[in-house]
């Protein structure tokens, strides 16, 4: 016998046919009723709060179980076509039940109804049962603009640094854009301070020690990094973690999110930094975070491990190398595709419309399709380490424990003709 839900039964008893279901939709339903209807719950708040940051200082952060994140703040950034793509990615049925909760949920309801969704309501008990909420394991590693602004103004914040902290902008080359406008009090690190030619691998441990001292960083300094490109900040972040800095965080979405929040900025050269007399511990503090070529090779063709390519599909199948200075095309034979973006300078597969990190469940689902799972030993690589570093920081925030960066990436691997490579269309093993 076909199961009839409580909601459908109530509508039938009221004498309502299925065709009049939309007109009879309650203005709000509780979580249990939505789940009984196999409905979809959508959180309309900014991703920071979805991920786990509480909206109030002593509040509880996180999202309802299995909720999707469609922030009302993204609506002005999404065309109907882009919203349609988001709907398709999440396999939403326009005749299915949708329940919304969070900031400006009505605006999201209006937009979804314009797109053709007929059964959209509100979640009556959204966020009202703290014990039910889910969050990123380490949401605090991805900070948001207002949190940083409050920290700078000495206001109490959730997950505050334990001791001294610094804000640093990271980018390649001279600080041209930084000089025009940057987050107040931010230092600047040129990525050439942490990586060098010929392969753009990390610099020696001795040079890392000198760089950290120059910027006044000890192992117990909390470092909050941001960049005009998120992956530039992530590249520096991973190398700092390798060195042994215990608490390294990213401004989620980078400079763009600070600018969009219309928070104060300043211009000019960074303030003079007092050098740190000593790092306080041996470098590297976490050597397992950065693998060499032989260590990466040892992960291939294993069920309990994945060497993961964070490169665009055209790079992965060998249509292009992705870089003007890397001539060989192809991919490491046995590597699994971890997604990236449209080309070597984009990471759309990992970003929300505002440039912040996509939900952990979305990312994990992408990876699972290629047999990349959290219980494995997982090492990410790209061309020279930037995109893979961003992904590594997201995996850490998601709570994946045994993760690392294959620093040399395709640039190093392809330089040795003895290394096995593969090209062409292919599917997961």
pLDDT in tens, 366-375: 999 999 999 9
Give 331's strand partners.
Answer: 422
Using pLDDT thresholds of 50, 70 and 90, give the confidence band for residue 7. low
Please state whether the predicted TM-score (pTM) of the whole model is above 0.75: yes
pLDDT digits (tens, 9 = 90+) for 252-289: 999 999 999 999 999 999 889 999 999 999 999 999 99
Read off the tokens for 231: 């992956």
- Neighbouring C-beta atoms of residue 48, cutoff 10 Å: 24
Residues 6+ apart with CB under 8 A from 207: none
Beta-sheet strands, E only, within 209-351? 222-227, 248-251, 290-291, 305-309, 331-332, 336-337
Using pLDDT thresholds of 50, 70 and 90, give the confidence band for residue 21. very low
Reply yes or no on whether the pLDDT at 97 is more than 50: yes
State the catalytic residue, choosing from 97, 382, 392, 393: 382
CA pair distance 256, 52, nearest whole angstrom: 21
Instruction: State percent of the chain over pLDDT 90.
Output: 91
What is the arithmetic mean of pLDDT over 394-402? 98
Tell me the H-state helices in 244-385: 255-260, 293-297, 313-316, 360-368
Tell me the H-state helices in 97-144: 105-114
In whole numbers, what is the pLDDT of the chain averaged over residues? 94
Residues 6+ apart with CB under 8 A from 10: none
Read off the tokens for 37: 């209807």
Residues 6+ apart with CB under 8 A from 116: 94
Element (H, E) at 405: strand 403-406
Residues 6+ apart with CB under 8 A from 13: none
To 10 degrees, what angle do helices 230-243 and 205-214 make? 110
Reply yes or no on whether the pLDDT at 4 is more than 60: no
CA distances from residue 87 to 11, 101, 345, 368 in whole angstroms, order as listed: 27, 17, 25, 20
Beta-sheet strands, E only, within 88-139? 97-101, 119-123
What is the arithmetic mean of pLDDT over 130-134? 97
The DSSP symbol for 264 reads: -
Reply yes or no on whether the pLDDT at 1 is more than 50: no
Residue 262: per-residue pLDDT: 97
CA pair distance 207, 361, nearest whole angstrom: 38
Residues 6+ apart with CB under 8 A from 121: 25, 26, 27, 28, 29, 97, 98, 99, 100
Reply yes or no on whether the pLDDT at 94 is more than 60: yes
CA pair distance 401, 426, nearest whole angstrom: 29
Reply yes or no on whether the pLDDT at 404 is more than 90: yes
CA distances from residue 334 to 291, 306, 309, 418 in whole angstroms, order as listed: 17, 9, 10, 15
Provide φ and ψ at 20, rounded to 5°. -100, 10
Is 382 annotated as catalytic? Answer: yes
Give 237's strand partners.
Answer: none
What is the arithmetic mean of pLDDT over 280-307? 97
Using pLDDT thresholds of 50, 70 and 90, give the confidence band for residue 24. low
What is the arithmetic mean of pLDDT over 64-88? 98
Residue 267: per-residue pLDDT: 97
Reply yes or no on whether the pLDDT at 15 is more than 60: no
How many residues does the structure list for the chain?
A: 429
Read off the tokens for 154: 């000495």
């Amino acid at each position: 016998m076909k199961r009839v839900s409580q909601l459908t039964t109530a509508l039938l008893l009221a004498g309502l046919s299925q065709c009049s279901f939309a007109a009879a939709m309650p203005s709000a339903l509780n979580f249990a009723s939505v789940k009984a209807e196999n409905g979809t719950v959508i959180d309309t708040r900014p991703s920071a709060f979805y991920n786990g940051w509480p909206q109030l200082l002593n509040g509880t952060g996180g999202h309802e179980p299995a909720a999707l994140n469609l922030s009302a703040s993204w609506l002005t950034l999404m065309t109907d076509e882009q919203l349609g793509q988001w709907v398709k990615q999440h396999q939403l049925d326009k005749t299915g039940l949708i329940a919304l909760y969070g900031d400006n949920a009505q605006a999201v309801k209006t937009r979804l109804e314009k797109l053709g969704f007929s059964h959209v309501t509100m979640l009556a008990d959204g966020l009202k049962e703290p014990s039910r909420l889910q969050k990123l394991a380490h949401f605090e590693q991805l900070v948001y603009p207002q949190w940083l602004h409050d920290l700078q103004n000495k206001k109490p914040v959730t997950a505050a640094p334990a001791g001294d902290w610094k804000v640093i902008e990271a980018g390649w080359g001279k600080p041209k854009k930084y000089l025009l406008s940057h987050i107040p009090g931010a230092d600047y690190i040129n990525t050439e301070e942490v990586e060098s030619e010929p392969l753009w691998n990390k610099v020696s441990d001795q040079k890392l020690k000198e760089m950290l001292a120059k910027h006044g960083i000890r192992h117990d300094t909390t470092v909050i990094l941001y960049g005009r490109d998120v992956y530039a900040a992530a590249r520096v972040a991973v190398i700092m973690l390798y060195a042994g800095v215990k608490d390294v965080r990213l401004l989620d979405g980078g400079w763009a999110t600070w600018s969009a929040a219309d928070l104060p900025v300043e211009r000019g050269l960074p303030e003079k930094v007092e050098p740190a007399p000593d790092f306080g511990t041996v470098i590297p503090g976490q050597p397992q975070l950065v693998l060499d070529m032989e260590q990466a090779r040892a992960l291939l063709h294993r069920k309990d491990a994945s060497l993961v390519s964070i490169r665009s599909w055209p790079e992965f199948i060998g249509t292009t190398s992705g870089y003007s200075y890397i001539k060989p095309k192809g991919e490491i034979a046995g590597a699994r595709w971890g997604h990236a973006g449209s080309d070597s300078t984009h990471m759309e597969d990992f970003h929300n419309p505002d440039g912040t990190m996509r939900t952990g469940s979305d990312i994990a689902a992408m990876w699972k399709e290629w047999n990349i799972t959290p219980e494995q030993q997982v090492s990410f690589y790209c061309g020279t380490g930037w995109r893979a570093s961003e992904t590594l920081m997201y995996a850490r925030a998601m709570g994946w424990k045994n993760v690392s960066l294959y620093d040399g990436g395709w640039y190093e691997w392809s330089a040795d003709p003895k290394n096995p490579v593969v090209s062409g269309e292919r599917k997961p093993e």
